[in-house]
Copies of this chain bind each other. A is one copy, B any other.
Amino acid sequence: MVETARRREIEDAASVLFRQHGYPATSVRDIARALDIRGASLYAHVASKEDVLWSIVDRVARRFERAASEALAAAAGPEDALARLVRAHVRAVTADVGEASVFIHEWRHLSETRRADVLARRDAYERRFRSVIGDGIAAGAFALTDPALAATFVLTALNGIPTWYRSDGALDPGSLADLYADLVVRSLTEASP
């Protein structure tokens, strides 16, 4: 097996364990056991447990960043941009709910420097939502509200998806993306009296 495939296998096994038990409660030995290899063999592929978490978190962060960039590049106006951002986020989460869950809930366990990197990227990601909402308010398309609070409201709802979504359930990712985009765009849109 080539090194990258082995490495990815390790990350996938770790991802399942991190999600299930949390990063602190998962040991390198647990990861090795899940792959039926010895802890020492695992260290031939990864430098540390934190290194594995970083690979997962960085990969998922890139997926979200790319999805948001594509959404914004294709958008026509603030309402369309917000709907596209939401659909892109839902698709990025549902592409791998387990990994997304590790990204959302376990990144705080990274070492200082990496945590700062992720925090800055999360802030930049959230600013994209905030900025689209601010644009919509300025254009009169959205209700007068606090763009930062509205972005937090939207992103916490989106980040809750891994806590309840089942990829083998009745709701397919596309329908979820559309329904959530509708809820979010309406949440910013004043109903005419």
A residues neighboring B (CB under 8 Å): 21-22, 24-25, 143, 145-146, 149-150, 152-157, 159-161, 163-164, 171, 176, 179-180, 182-184, 186-192
Taking CB atoms, residues of chain B closer than 8 Å to A150 are: 183
- The main secondary structure of chain A at its interface with chain B is helix
| Pair B156/A163 contact, Cβ less than 8 Å | yes
Contacts A153-B157, A183-B188 supplied; 4 other A-B pairs, CB < 8 Å: A22-B24, A156-B159, A186-B189, A186-B191
* Distance to closest chain B CB from A16 (angstroms): 17
Can you list 8 A-B contacts (CB < 8 A)?
Answer: A21-B24, A22-B24, A149-B176, A153-B180, A159-B160, A186-B187, A187-B187, A189-B191
Taking CB atoms, residues of chain B closer than 8 Å to A180 are: 153
| Pair A192/B192 contact, Cβ less than 8 Å | yes
Residue of B at shortest CB range from A161?
B156
* Distance to closest chain B CB from A60 (angstroms): 18
Provide the bound-state CA to CA distance between A152 and B161, in Å.
9
Taking CB atoms, residues of chain B closer than 8 Å to A24 are: 21-22, 25
| Pair A143/B186 contact, Cβ less than 8 Å | yes
| Pair B192/A145 contact, Cβ less than 8 Å | no
Taking CB atoms, residues of chain B closer than 8 Å to A154 are: 157
Provide the bound-state CA to CA distance between A41 and B161, in Å.
42
| Pair A156/B157 contact, Cβ less than 8 Å | yes
